[in-house]
């Protein structure tokens, strides 16, 4: 009778944690579902605000439009921040749920192991008694053999349970490792969130600065645009002069031939506003009117993604030297495939020099609003993407310029180093 009681107690003890763990997982699952539904509503709001912003950006270039665009940008950025916060919350809940499941499995395994130990000890004590004593103590032979058979059978059952639970733990551990990768994504989201908040602050400053400089007069705004274009023309000439001094030999075998799909898009919504090559001199005042990259329509705060996997090879903000302008806030990514890209006129970057980045990872936020810190000599919101053969680009001080001698810029040797981004990006 005592043996049957021991077996029953061990059985209940072994399976109790499963019930407790299930309640916790159900509660977390409900929270995750609620967060998902809330995020769907936020994403819909985000979509509408983006459409409003796109509409404003297509309007003429005047002071009223510029102010309206900055106001719309602020609303859109606030929505972006809410979506990012929702993603972080959902990720944390998923990791917590998996961790709880792993903890439950580990507790179950420990409990089963203790149960097996108790049964083995009972068996050992049973086997240590002489057969004569067992025969004398037993009420009858059938009770004796039934008790021994039950004890051994239950021990085998528990052994199988532990084996299955160890396999379950292994599976859950692998899932936890996958979630740890999601944890890395959550950390990346935290970094993005900081970048988004910085963009909001800078956007507010840009509006105040613009109104102060123009005194809300259209003529003053147009003069500001014209002055910026003149400075840009001089900056482009200075940059070209410095690049002509470079001594670089390009080996075509060290980077891929033009092919669509070698790189992925740097922005989620693709609209080209300026192509690579000889362009309108009024818009691209580089010598020979040559545009050394591709421009994308991108409102301030648009996420900018790495086009391939690689490392951050350099960064700076030419606006930190008063009167410079040029690229503004820029980062250079050197990809594993022998290509490099520069993103310029950024409102914020969320990576550091030397950091490893993966294809599709958010590395910065676009900018370009006139007068905003980091916009450089841009006259409107957009993202400039330059592409190079990695061997043909380097980061150097802008020593030949009149007002940018203390800042760093990416330099490339002539047209052999500059490549057409659209020749490597997916087909339009």
The tens digit of pLDDT for each residue in 391-418 reads 989 998 988 777 788 899 998 876 667 8
206 occurs within a structural domain: no
Please determine, for residue 151, whether its predicted confidence score (pLDDT) is greater than 50. Answer: yes
Residues 161 and 274 in one domain: no
414 occurs within a structural domain: yes
Q: Domain boundary residue among 136, 166, 185?
A: 185
Percentage of the chain lying above the pLDDT 90 cut: 25
Please determine, for residue 150, whether its predicted confidence score (pLDDT) is greater than 70. Answer: no
Residues 231 and 348 in one domain: yes
pLDDT for residue 205: 84
How does 141-176 read in b/e, with b if 16+ C-beta sit within 10 Å? eeebeebeeebeebbeebeebbeebeebbeebeeeb
Residues 411 and 352 in one domain: yes
197 occurs within a structural domain: no
CB 235 within 8 A of CB 405: no
Number of domains into which the chain is organized: 2
Q: In whole angstroms, what is the distance from residue 58 CA to residue 67 CA?
A: 14
Strand 383-389 and strand 277-278: the pairing is: unpaired
Which is nearest to 315 in space by CA: 353, 289, 369? 353
Residues 280 and 406 in one domain: yes
101 occurs within a structural domain: yes
Q: What is the mean pLDDT of the chain?
A: 81
225 occurs within a structural domain: yes
pLDDT for residue 148: 59
pLDDT for residue 239: 77
Residues 229 and 365 in one domain: yes
Residues 155 and 241 in one domain: no
403 occurs within a structural domain: yes
CB 403 within 8 A of CB 377: no
123 occurs within a structural domain: yes
Q: What is the 3-state secondary structure (H, E, C) of the chain?
A: CHHHHHHHHHHHHHHHHHHHHHHHHHHHHHHHHHHHHHHHHHHHHHHHHHHHHHHHHCCCCCHHHHHHHHHHHHHHHHHHHHHHHHHHHHHHHHHHHHHHHHHHHHHHHHHHHHHHHHHHHHHHHHHHCCHHHHHHHCCCHHHHHHHHHHHHHHHHHHHHHHHHHHHHHHHHHHHHHHHHHHHHHHHHHHHHHHHHHHHHHHHHHHHHHHHHHHCCCHHHHHHHHHHHHHHHHHHHHHHHHHHHCCCCCCCHHHCCCCCCCCCCCCCCCCCEEECCEECCCCCCCCHHHEECCEEECCCCCCEEECCCCEEEEEEEEHHHCCCCCCCCEEEEEEECCCEEEEEECEEEECCCCCCEECCCCEEEEEECCCCCCCCCCCCCCEEEEEEEEHHHEEEEECCCCCCCCCCEEEEECHHHHEECHHHCCCCC
Residues 353 and 231 in one domain: yes
Q: How confident is the model at residue 13 (pLDDT cuts 50, 70, 90)?
A: very low
Q: Domain boundary residue among 163, 185, 207?
A: 185
Q: Domain boundary residue among 185, 204, 228?
A: 185
The CATH number linked to 364 is: 2.70.70.10
Residues 174 and 221 in one domain: no
Contacts by 356-360, CB closer than 8 A, 24 or more apart = 356/309, 356/310, 356/311, 357/306, 357/309, 357/310, 357/311, 357/312, 357/333, 358/306, 358/309, 359/264, 359/306, 359/307, 359/308, 359/309, 360/264, 360/305, 360/306
Residues 230 and 313 in one domain: yes
Task: Pull the structure tokens for residue 416.
Answer: 């052999």
Q: Which residue has the higher pLDDT, 273 or 341?
A: 341
122 occurs within a structural domain: yes
Residues 111 and 239 in one domain: no
Task: Pull the structure tokens for residue 149.
Answer: 């058979």
pLDDT for residue 158: 63
Q: Which residue has the higher pLDDT, 91 or 8?
A: 91
pLDDT for residue 72: 87
Residues 289 and 179 in one domain: no
Neighbouring CB atoms inside 10 A of 30's CB total: 11
Q: Could you list the residue range(s) of the whole structural domain that residue 260 is in? A: 217-423
Residues 41 and 135 in one domain: yes
Please tell me the least confidently modeled range out of 99-103, 111-115, 406-410.
111-115
Residue whose tokens read 């004593």: 133
Cα separation values, 51 from 48, 69, 73, 143, Å: 5, 12, 11, 82
Q: How confident is the model at residue 23 (pLDDT cuts 50, 70, 90)?
A: very low
């Amino acid at each position: 009778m005592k043996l049957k009681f021991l077996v029953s107690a061990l059985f209940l003890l072994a399976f109790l944690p499963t019930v407790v763990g299930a309640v916790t997982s159900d509660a977390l699952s409900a929270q995750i579902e609620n967060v998902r539904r809330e995020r769907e509503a936020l994403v819909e709001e985000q979509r509408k605000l983006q459409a409003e912003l796109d509409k404003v950006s297509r309007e003429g270039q005047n002071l009223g439009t510029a102010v309206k665009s900055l106001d719309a940008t602020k609303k859109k950025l606030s929505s972006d921040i809410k979506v990012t916060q929702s993603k972080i919350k959902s990720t944390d809940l998923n990791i917590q749920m998996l961790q709880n499941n792993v903890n439950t499995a580990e507790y179950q395994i420990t409990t089963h192991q203790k149960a097996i130990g108790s049964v083995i000890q009972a068996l050992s004590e049973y086997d240590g008694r002489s057969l004569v004593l067992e025969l004398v103590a037993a009420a009858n032979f059938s009770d004796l053999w039934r008790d021994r058979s039950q004890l051994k059978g239950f021990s085998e059952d528990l052994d199988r349970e532990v084996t299955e639970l160890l396999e379950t733990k292994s599976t859950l551990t692998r899932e936890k490792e996958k979630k740890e990768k999601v944890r890395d994504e959550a950390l990346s989201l935290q970094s993005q969130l900081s970048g988004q908040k910085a963009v909001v602050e800078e956007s507010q400053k840009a509006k105040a600065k613009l109104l102060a400089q123009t005194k809300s007069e259209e003529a003053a705004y147009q003069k500001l645009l014209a002055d910026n274009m003149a400075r840009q023309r001089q900056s482009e000439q200075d940059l070209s002069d410095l690049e002509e001094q470079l001594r670089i030999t390009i080996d075509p075998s060290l980077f891929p031939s033009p092919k669509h799909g070698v790189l992925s898009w740097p922005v989620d919504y693709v609209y080209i506003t300026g192509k690579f090559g000889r362009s309108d001199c009024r818009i691209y005042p580089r010598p020979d009117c040559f545009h050394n990259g591709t421009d994308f329509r991108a409102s301030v705060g648009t996420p900018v993604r790495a086009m391939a996997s690689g490392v951050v090879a350099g960064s700076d903000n030419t606006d930190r030297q008063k009167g410079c302008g040029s690229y503004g806030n820029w980062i250079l990514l050197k990809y594993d495939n022998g290509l490099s890209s520069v993103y310029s006129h950024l409102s914020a970057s969320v990576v550091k020099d030397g950091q490893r980045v993966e294809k599709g990872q958010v590395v910065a936020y676009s900018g370009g609003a006139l007068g905003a810190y980091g916009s450089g000599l841009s006259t409107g919101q957009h993202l400039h993407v330059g592409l190079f053969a990695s061997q043909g680009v380097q980061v150097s001080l802008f020593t030949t310029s009149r007002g940018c001698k203390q800042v760093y810029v990416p330099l490339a040797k002539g047209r052999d180093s500059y490549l057409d981004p659209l020749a490597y990006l997916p087909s339009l």
